[in-house]
Structure formats: C-alpha cells, structure tokens
C-alpha cells in the first residue's frame, strides 16, 4: 500500500458585515491559555516551525529515494536487457522509487505532526448554512436530517435540502418532517449535483456554508468541531474539510475494504496536507466554506469532480484549506465493485479536470505545491502499476522476475510502517471522540495487499474517460 490510496481523494475571517466570522490574532480564538502562562511558554518551547518539519520530511524522503535508486541498479540492469535502460528506470520509478519517496515523506511528516490542544470555545458559535443535494435518497435523507438535529449546534442554523429531480420517494420523505431550520427546494428535471448546490448557495443566509451528503450521519459535535477548526486556523483559511468515514462498513467485503481506505489513507493524507497549509480536496460530502468566497468564485463548477476543482480554485487564489480530523461524518460507501470502480473513475476524472483548469498551481511557490506535483504523478503511477506491475505479478508466478521480484520487497517495510503510524494516529483520534476501531482483519489484509489491483486500473480508465468523453452526470458517490 502506498500513500496514493487517497482521493487526490487524494490543502479569513471577517465581521458578519464583511461576509465572514471574526477571529482573534493569528486566526486564533481569544480564549485558551494566557500568552504568559507556563503551558503557553511550553508549547512555544517545543514547537518546530512548519517549514522545518517540511524540510525534515523532504530530506528523509529524498534520502530514502536515493537509497532505493542505489539498491535498484542491479534490478535496472537486468530489466534493461529486456526493455531498454530508459524504460527500465521508468518502470522501477513507478513501482518502487516514487511510491517509496511518497511513503517516506508521509511517515516523516506524521511523526513530527504535533497539533496544539483544542482551545476553549464560546458558548455561541457563528451561524451556518448547511447545503444538502439529494438525488434518489428516500432511504437516507431523514436519517441525515435527524443527525443534523441531534448536533444541537450552538448558533444560528439553516439547512437547505435540494431534491434534484429524484424519481423515488425522496420528495414524500421530505414532506414528512418539520424542522424550524429546514428549507426544501424541488428541482425538475435533474440538473446535477453542482447545479443543486449552487441553487442552495443562492439561498444561504449565513457567513459559513457547510455541505453534507444526503446519505450521511453526522457524529456528535461534528458541526461544532468543524467550525472550531475554521476559527482556530490562520487567516486566509477559506475552507475546512471534515473527516469522512464509512458508515456501511459491515455490509459486505467491498465496504470492509473501503473502511480502511477512508480510515487510513484518505484521513492521513488530508492531515498531512493540512499540516503544510493546503488540503487539496475539501470534499463535498462534508466541508465548510466561507459563503462570500464561494459566491466570489461562482460556486461549484459543472464538472465530474466539482469539489476538487473548487478547492484548487481557492488554492490558486492564495487561500488556505484546512482539515478537522475530529469532525466526523459517516457516509455510505459503494457496496459493489462496479459502483466502487465508477466512483474512483469519477474521482480520477476530477483530478484531470482540476489540472486542466488550475495547472498554474504547479508553479505556485508554497509548500503544498509538492502535493500538486505529487498528484501529477498519479496517472504515471497508475499506468505503470496497471500495465506493467500487474502483468509482472503474473510472470513472477512462472518464475520470471523481471518486474515483480525480490527488489520490489523493499517497498513493503516502509509501507507496513506507514500503516502502523496511520493506525496509531487515527486510533488516538477515535478514542478522543468516544469511538472504537472495530475488528476488520480481512478488510485490512485486502486493503494492504490487493486493493490496488482494483483501484489503480479503475483510475486509468477514469483518466481515459476524461480525455475521450464529455458526459457529466451524478453517477455514484
């Protein structure tokens, strides 16, 4: 397993009259430890600047990459006799060198990531407008609204549900509930998720807007924690992504495997990116945005990957995007391999869309530019894995070790260490939230050893679809 298992599915504060929320100096709430207190001095004493952490992680990753190249020279010579020297290095780079660099950077960054303790919040929080785009969600929409109601959010609340031309009983289910904060809009015919969200955005009344998927369940204090992260982040923060986890993880083997993808890969990468001040995807399933900035950029674009394209637009304009690892939302993951493949194809198309529109981020001088280049390498890695490594595994079964052989085992120790570190960090967050990591050994074994056999070929097809077809529709989640 490499760190690419993330949806690449992988990052402001103003008075209400300016369209935002007032925060204290450096983006902090005017609460918590006094500047001169012992605890504050201790935090300053042990705090390493983010740029130092970035330099350390980058140095560690480069060192591992150099070691990998040195150790792979024999492998390259043997493979070069078959495919040529250049092709051999391209293959080895996609199988071992680049994934090793990514894993080394990830683990070094996670090891030095020390987030400050949570600050005390005021009893009343700023008003929020929650947008829910629903398409054929009759079985889930009432549960989603109930989970919002149970939040008991300590501030003004507005929820706008857009029934986007559903053909099931979604409209009837929405007619059954009466919440003072609920507004329902019915559209016909179906216009797509981005259109539904933009219709709701036009009715948003508050300075902060949050998107929630219609088949999701907000865990306790999710809204409070998401807003708290926004208030605590530095000035220039335009959005904050919440932590999305799998709700139907016990449904079957497909969802069991995805539980680890969301719990490990996606959350760890978002945490890593937010450490360096730029989460690359504020996912539509659960994220907070400044309403004023959403309107300034024109809302969600009409494309397959509207959330990643919107996030990159904000990043290109110089804003930060944060991540609240303790703001948990559980959502239904695809429960068949067909649905899973379609989902990852859409995510891959969204990545290509983002590069088409915001390629200038590749040349923006900031720490997160590394992750933009990182994302640029995903198509290369996916193609090498799909077209070379998988056939190499078949050859290895017959004793031909040109591609998959002893040298590829060099990636395994670091990958196992990455999994261990991610598990410890995520388990700590679960414990703090009163959650428990359930036993899912079979799902983890497949996630670690076989998940890429399905994921990366699906991504390759998604890249091709974006270049060959222009159809835009809801599809799967």
Q: Is residue 13 pLDDT above 50, yes or no?
A: no
Q: Is residue 368 pLDDT above 80, yes or no?
A: yes
Residues in the chain: 477
% of residues, the chain, pLDDT over 70: 85
Nearest CA among 314, 322, 281, 279 for reference residue 298: 314
404 Rama class: left (phi>0) / alpha (psi -120 to 50) / beta: beta
Nearest CA among 206, 469, 164 for reference residue 345: 469
Q: What pLDDT does 32 receive?
A: 34
Within a domain: 169 = no
Q: What pLDDT does 24 receive?
A: 43
Within a domain: 10 = yes
% of residues, the chain, pLDDT over 90: 58
Within a domain: 165 = no
User: What's the number of domains the chain is made of?
Assistant: 1
Within a domain: 180 = no
* Alpha carbon distance 226, 407 (integer Å): 44
Residues 367/278, Cβ–Cβ less than 8 Å: yes
Lowest mean pLDDT among 24-28, 135-139, 147-151, 244-248: 24-28
User: What is the dihedral angle through the alpha carbons of 81, 85, 86, 92, rounded to the nearest 10 degrees?
Assistant: 80
Residues 151/223, Cβ–Cβ less than 8 Å: yes
- Rounded to an integer, the average pLDDT of 181-190 is 94
- Rounded to an integer, the average pLDDT of 403-422 is 72
Q: Is residue 457 pLDDT above 60, yes or no?
A: yes
* Alpha carbon distance 403, 251 (integer Å): 36
Residue 202 CB burial class (10 angstroms; 0-12, 13-18, ≥19): exposed
Within a domain: 6 = yes
- Chain segment 280-298, per-residue pLDDT in tens: 999 999 999 999 999 999 9
How many other C-beta atoms can be found within 10 angstroms of the C-beta atom of residue 323?
Answer: 27
Within a domain: 89 = yes
Q: What pLDDT does 371 receive?
A: 93
What residues have CB less than 8 Å from 409, skipping those under 6 apart?
Answer: none
Q: Is residue 31 pLDDT above 70, yes or no?
A: no
Q: What is the pTM of this model?
A: 0.85
Q: Where are the alpha helices (DSSP H) in 326-377?
A: 337-358, 369-376
- Rounded to an integer, the average pLDDT of 87-113 is 90
Q: What pLDDT does 296 receive?
A: 96
The two three-digit tokens of residue 89, written as one number = 């290095």
The confidence band for 28, taking pLDDT boundaries of 50, 70 and 90, is very low
How many other C-beta atoms can be found within 10 angstroms of the C-beta atom of residue 5?
Answer: 23
Q: Is residue 385 pLDDT above 70, yes or no?
A: yes
Which DSSP helix (H) or strand (E) runs through 322?
strand 320-331
Residues 209/289, Cβ–Cβ less than 8 Å: yes
**Angle, nearest 10°, between helix axes 369-376 and 337-358?**
120
Within a domain: 159 = no
Q: What pLDDT does 265 receive?
A: 75
Q: What pLDDT does 375 receive?
A: 94
For the chain, what is the mean pLDDT? Answer: 84
Q: What pLDDT does 194 receive?
A: 94
Nearest CA among 34, 38, 22 for reference residue 119: 34
Name the more confident of 416 and 246. Answer: 246
Within a domain: 191 = no
Q: Is residue 44 pLDDT above 50, yes or no?
A: no
Q: Which domain holds residue 213?
A: 1-28+49-126+207-477
Q: What pLDDT does 417 receive?
A: 76
- Rounded to an integer, the average pLDDT of 131-151 is 96
Name the more confident of 11 and 182. Answer: 182
The two three-digit tokens of residue 406, written as one number = 């002893």
């Amino acid at each position: 397993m490499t760190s690419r298992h993330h949806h690449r599915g992988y990052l402001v504060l103003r008075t209400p009259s300016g369209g935002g929320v007032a925060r204290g100096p450096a983006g902090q709430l005017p609460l918590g430890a006094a500047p001169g207190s012992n605890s504050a001095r201790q935090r300053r004493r042990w705090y390493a600047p983010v740029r130092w952490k970035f330099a350390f992680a980058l140095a560690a990753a480069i060192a591992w990459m150099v070691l990998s190249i040195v150790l792979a020279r024999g492998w390259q010579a043997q493979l070069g006799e078959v495919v040529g020297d250049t092709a051999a290095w391209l293959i080895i780079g996609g199988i071992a060198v680049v994934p090793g660099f990514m894993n080394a950077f990830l683990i070094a960054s996670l090891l030095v990531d020390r987030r400050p303790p949570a600050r005390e919040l005021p009893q009343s929080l700023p008003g929020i407008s929650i947008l829910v785009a629903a398409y054929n969600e009759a079985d889930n929409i009432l549960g989603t609204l109930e989970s919002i109601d149970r939040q008991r959010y300590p501030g003004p609340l507005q929820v706008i549900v857009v029934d986007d031309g559903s053909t099931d009983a979604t409209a009837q289910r929405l007619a059954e509930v009466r919440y003072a904060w609920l507004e329902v809009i019915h559209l016909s015919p179906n216009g797509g998720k981005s259109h539904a969200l933009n219709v709701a955005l036009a009715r948003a009344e508050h300075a902060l807007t949050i998107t929630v998927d219609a088949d999701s369940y907000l865990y306790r204090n999710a809204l409070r924690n998401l807003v708290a992260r926004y208030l605590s982040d530095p000035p220039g923060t335009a959005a904050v992504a919440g932590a999305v986890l799998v709700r139907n993880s016990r449904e079957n083997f497909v969802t069991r495997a995805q539980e680890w993808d969301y719990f490990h890969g996606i959350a760890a990468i978002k945490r890593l990116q937010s450490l360096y001040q730029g989460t690359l995807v504020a996912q539509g399933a659960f994220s907070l945005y400044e309403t004023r900035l959403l309107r300034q950029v024109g809302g969600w674009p009409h494309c397959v990957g509207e959330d990643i394209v919107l996030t990159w637009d904000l990043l290109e304009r110089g804003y930060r995007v944060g991540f609240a690892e303790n703001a948990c939302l559980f959502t239904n993951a695809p429960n068949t391999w067909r649905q899973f493949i379609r989902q990852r194809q859409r995510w891959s198309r969204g990545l290509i869309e983002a590069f088409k529109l915001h390629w200038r981020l590749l040349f923006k001088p900031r720490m997160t530019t590394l992750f933009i280049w990182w994302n640029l390498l995903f198509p290369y890695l996916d193609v090498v894995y799909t077209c070379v490594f998988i056939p190499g595994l078949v050859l290895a079964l017959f004793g031909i070790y040109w591609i998959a052989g002893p040298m590829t085992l060099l990636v395994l120790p670091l990958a196992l260490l990455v999994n261990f570190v991610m598990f410890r960090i995520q388990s700590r967050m679960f414990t703090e939230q009163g959650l428990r990591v359930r036993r899912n050994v079979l799902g983890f074994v497949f996630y670690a050893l076989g998940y890429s056999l399905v994921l990366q070929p699906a991504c390759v097809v998604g890249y091709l679809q974006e270049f060959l077809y222009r159809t835009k529709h809801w599809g799967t989640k």
